[in-house]
Structure 1
Amino acid sequence: MERHFPHTNATLTPKQLGFLFPAEWHPHRATWLTFPHNEASWQGDKLARMRPQYLAFIQAISQGEQVGIVANDEPLQRFIQAELEKIGVDLSRIEFLIKPTNDAWCRDHGPAFLINPETKQRMVIDWGHNAWGGKYPPYDDDNRTPTAIAEQLGLLSVQPGIIMEGGSVEFNGAGTVLTSRSCLLNTNRNPHLSQQQIEEYLHNYYGTEQVLWVEDGIVGDDTDGHIDDTTRFVSEDTVVACVETDPHDANYEVLQTNLKLLQEMRLLNGKPLNVIELPMPKAVMIDGFRTPGSYANFLICNAGVIVPVFNNPHDEQAIDILEKAFPERKIIPLLATEIIWGQGSFHCLSQQEPLV
């Protein structure tokens, strides 16, 4: 574990110090999760019903890296260990942090890990978290998670002082970040900041040079349009972009708008984005509610690409497209039919910790 960080001038930004947020395909030391326990997110028996899918997710990640699990208390830790043992997970791959938590969406309340490729150092950005514009209080325990993880790992933690969520930003590791206007420019996040000021925060704290904007997100997404449900980098110059082929579907127009914007975008080198169209699943309905089911909410980890599937007519087509998009990685389809009730999936639940 890294226990020392050299003295730095507090006026310098992470970018000026040589830090950046690497692409998700950069090798991981670990992936961090916040173990779900809040029945407000999975009501009634839904929490118990989603748990086998969540445990299968942990098992899949653990095949290639450590899994850091933030557990609300020691009894929950003991429960998790027992459940993982039952399905044959190597517990030496599991690390625990015991601290109070509110919800399970570690992508949004967890730490953003930066690396310095030159000095081989790491640091944590602890953005503010307000539960997607104050929708789901309380969230104060989740808001304290990044610094707690940083302290456990012996890493420097920096607080920019504004609201930012990991699911709202997507990186190619070569200076570009993709995001959506509907989320980052929403007045329920940082109403005092202009688009230019938000872009400056992205550059200074994520180490980027360019911000590319799409418009909005999909139906059922309560985050105001997170990018990780619609558009994902699969390499420095290529994205998969969700499309809806049914013109009568509620997602058709917004995804067509995003697709046209993506097709017009240029990277820092002046080249256009290579855009691969990825189908949406046929509407994933649970108890009359349309969930934000999306094949784009995959996690790239050392073991492969963990893709949510929904026992859906479009599952196989999406898997085939992603296999071609990631020719050197194993595609790992996992059922998310119960997890998606919580209005998120595998990417939303996780945050990678890179190797240096």
Structure 2
Amino acid sequence: MTAVPVPAEWAPHRAMWVGWPSHAELWEDDLEAAQAEVEGLVRALAGPGREQVRLLVGKREALEAAQARFAGVDGVTVVDGRFGDIWLRDTGPIFGQGSARAAAFRFNGWGGKYELEHDDTVATQIGAASGTPLDRHDFILEGGALDHDGRGTILTTRQCLLNPNRNPGWTEALAESALTEALGATRVVWLGDGLMNDHTDGHVDNLARFVGPGVVVCPVGWGADDPNDEVYDATARALTAEGLTVIRIPSPGRIENEDGEPIPASHMNFLIANGAVIVPSYGNEAATEAACNALRVVLSDREIIALPSLAILTGGGSFHCISQQEPA
């Protein structure tokens, strides 16, 4: 039986799952800074009238400290779980309307790049902890590879969804059929490549996001050396050709790792919450403010909050990547 469309992210939520940086052996010198950034996100989400945050801790040794850190914070529940790393958008389930059921998929570490213990059990854990029955689908899919308008239109990229390291032999037609059955897709809008050096093989939540029915935001390059300038322009052209209204939002510009290589920093990894939009910032205050000003126009019913996410980015993602909403 074909599913009904996944609610848009701006629809009301009953809860928001967030992953807590739990593994010192993965984060090394960035662990404390990443925890501080995630704490900032959690406290912003749990503000009055916003989210019931379910903070999933992925390792027993990190549980007690996390509980102490959020003791007495209204709207935050610390959940004892197990995961390889914090990217719940990709490893967790995708909740359907009213969170009556959720879709769960196979996970293979982003095409075999990072296969960590327990990551393939996160959907089961969140389903059990939230009391949500899971509909299991026998194909590989990460939640960050898709964006939803709430009416059945899904954005995705060929670079990720048709990559042979996920589901060998998939064509657009086969992928569309799978998305229709599992997630109620009525239309799939295909984009090309994602950001440079993105180990997810071009997740769309770093590239283009719905902010309303038929309305999509995507980046415009910031600075003469933005490494993704051509990808951004190609994305905007493709979205326009599909009849969507496109709003360009400044990228963070060129953000580098310690070796001087560009890393996939993106303001598109914002998180739409009850009453707020949390926008990742990577140290370029002018670019962040310009992006926030644009989002204030298109998401005017919510407070736009910029928070630092540089340490989280060292792990490969940002606020949207580490979260998953339960629609009300």
1:27-38 → structure 2 map (5 Å cutoff): 27-38=12-23
> Residue 133 of structure 2: which of 142, 156, 160 is its match?
156
Q: Which residue of 2 aligns with 1:84?
A: 70
1:305 aligned onto 2:277: yes
Q: Which residue is 2:321 aligned to?
A: 348
Contact in 2 for aligned 1:232/1:239 (Cα 8 Å)? yes
2:100 is matched with 122
Letter in 2 for 1:308: P
* In structure 2, distance between residues paired with 1:40 and 1:131: 18
The equivalent position to 1:66 in structure 2, one of 52, 66, 72, is 52
SS at match of 2:266: coil
Report SS of the residue matched to 2:240: helix
RMSD: 1.7
Q: Is 1:277 the equivalent of 2:259?
A: no
Partner Cα separation in structure 2 for residue 20 and residue 249 of structure 1: 35
Q: Structure 1: how far apart are the matches of 2:232 and 2:217?
A: 12
Give the aligned partner of residue 288 of structure 2.
315
Where do residues 24-63 of structure 1 align in structure 2 (5 Å cutoff)? Answer: 24-39=9-24, 41-42=26-27, 44-63=28-47
Letter in 1 for 2:52: Q
Counterpart AA for 2:63: Q
Letter in 1 for 2:295: L
Kept after mapping to 2: 8 A contact 1:221/1:292: yes
CA contact (8 A) 1:247 1:253 kept: no
Residues 252, 41 of structure 1: alpha-carbon distance in 2 compared, 3 angstrom cutoff: farther
Q: Deviations over 1:57-110 (max 9, x none)?
A: 11111121111122234442221121224xx732xx223432321011000001
**Pairs aligned (count):** 324
Is the 1:246–1:252 contact (alpha carbons within 8 Å) kept by the matching residues of 2? no
Secondary structure of the 2:67 match is helix
Offset of 1:159 from its aligned partner?
1.0
Partners of 1:71 and 1:97 within 8 A in 2: yes
C-alpha contact 2:227 2:254 (8 A) present in aligned 1: no
1:111 and 2:81 aligned: no
Q: 1:293·1:340 contact (CA, 8 Å) conserved in 2?
A: yes
Q: Residue 6 of structure 1 corresponds to which residue in structure 2? A: none
CA distance in 2, matches of 1:130, 1:40: 21
Q: Which runs of 5+ in 2 are unaligned?
A: none
Q: 1:204 aligns with which of 173, 176, 181?
A: 181
What SS is found at the alignment partner of 2:137?
coil
Structure 1 residues 152, 246: CA separation in 2 closer, same or farther (over 3 Å shift)? closer
Q: 1:131 aligns with which of 96, 109, 113?
A: 109
Query: What TM-score, normalized by structure 2, do the two folds share?
Result: 0.94
Distance 1:294 1:198 in 2: 26
| Alpha-carbon distance, 1:284 to partner | 1.5
- Distance (Å, rounded) in 1 between the aligned partners of 2:129 and 2:33: 31
Q: Which runs of 5+ in 1 are unaligned?
A: 1-11, 266-271
Q: What does residue range 95-244 of structure 1 map to in structure 2 within 5 Å?
A: 95-115=77-97, 122-139=100-117, 141-244=118-221
Q: Distance in 2 between matches of 1:180 and 1:247?
A: 25
Divergent runs of 4+, >3 A: 245-249
Greater mean alpha carbon deviation, residues 239-248 or residues 300-309: 239-248
Q: Which structure 2 residues correspond to residues 277-296 of structure 1 after superposition, within 5 A?
A: 277-287=248-258, 288-296=260-268
- In 2, distance between residues paired with 1:294 and 1:40? 26
The answer (yes or no) to whether the contact 2:6–2:152 under 8 Å persists in 1 is: no
The CA deviation string for residues 322-354 of structure 1, in whole angstroms up to 9 with x for no partner, is 111111111011111222111110001100011
Amino acid at match of 1:353: E
Which letter maps to 1:57?
L
**TM-score, normalization by structure 1:** 0.87
Conserved in 2, the CA contact under 8 Å of 1:124 and 1:146?
A: no
Larger helix percent: 2
**In structure 2, do the counterparts of structure 1 residues 248 and 81 end up closer, same or farther at CA, with 3 Å as the change threshold?**
closer
SS in 2 for 1:277: strand
Q: Larger C-alpha radius of gyration, 1 or 2?
A: 1
Residues 114, 125 of structure 1: 8 Å contact kept? yes
What's the CA shift string for 1:36-76, capped at 9, x where partnerless?
2234642x311112211110111111121111122234442
